[in-house]
Amino acid sequence: MAQKLIFGPAFRAMLQANLEHMSPQGLERLRALGVDPLGKLEAAYPAEQWAACARLMAEDIDPGLPLAESSRRLARRSIDAFADDLVGRLLFGLTRLIGMERTLTRMTKNLRSGSNFHETRLTRVSNDPVIDEVWINDVSGLPGYYLGLLEGGMFHTMGFMNRVTLERTDGTEAVYRFVRVPVKPGR
């Protein structure tokens, strides 16, 4: 298989959304990992390098939290900032039009916009309530980060928050569960 890559724009979105929260020492540690957070980024980075930077950022910004939670928060800030951007507003507007079902079935394409190696699989677990599971082939050792991406994506797609949980990990893989609660009229 070709080298696993995270594309520069996806990396930039994470950096831009989180740099203001980093310590000067954390910024220097990013530079030591080969990424100038204030400079021009490469077109793509090895997934291992991206994961090391994401881990460093999560630990620098939220040093007292477990990595699963600090990386989830890192991803949520990234998605929330993206949703406030013009392109993000357009993209999430489109996902609201096509609905959560189609958005979940297009998860591989969504993740592939920022990488060259992600694969996903959607499985319906229940119809009442609607429960889906999404398997992701490789979460780069950061299942909490991907949980934050999925939570943020659901929130900005649906306009409200249903539940997304990390069900299990196995090696590089992870399975996330989406529980969708219907919105009652008048709410």
Neighbouring-strand partners of residue 136: 120, 174
Q: Find out whether 137 and 102 touch, Cβ atoms under 8 Å.
A: no
How much is the pTM?
A: 0.89
3-class DSSP assignment, residue 160: coil
Closest to 55 (Cα-Cα) out of 36, 72, 76, 77: 72
Residue 24, Cβ density class (10 Å: 0-12 exposed, 13-18 middle, ≥19 buried): exposed
Kindly give the confidence (pLDDT) of every residue in the chain, 187 residues in length, as a single tens digit, with 9 standing for 90 and above: 689 999 998 899 899 999 999 999 999 999 999 999 989 999 999 999 999 999 999 999 999 999 999 999 999 999 888 888 777 677 776 777 776 677 777 777 778 888 999 999 999 999 988 899 999 999 999 999 999 999 988 887 776 557 899 999 999 999 999 887 665 555 4
**Within 10 Å of residue 142's Cβ, how many Cβ atoms?**
22
Closest to 73 (Cα-Cα) out of 21, 29, 115: 21
φ and ψ at 118, to 5 degrees? -75, 140
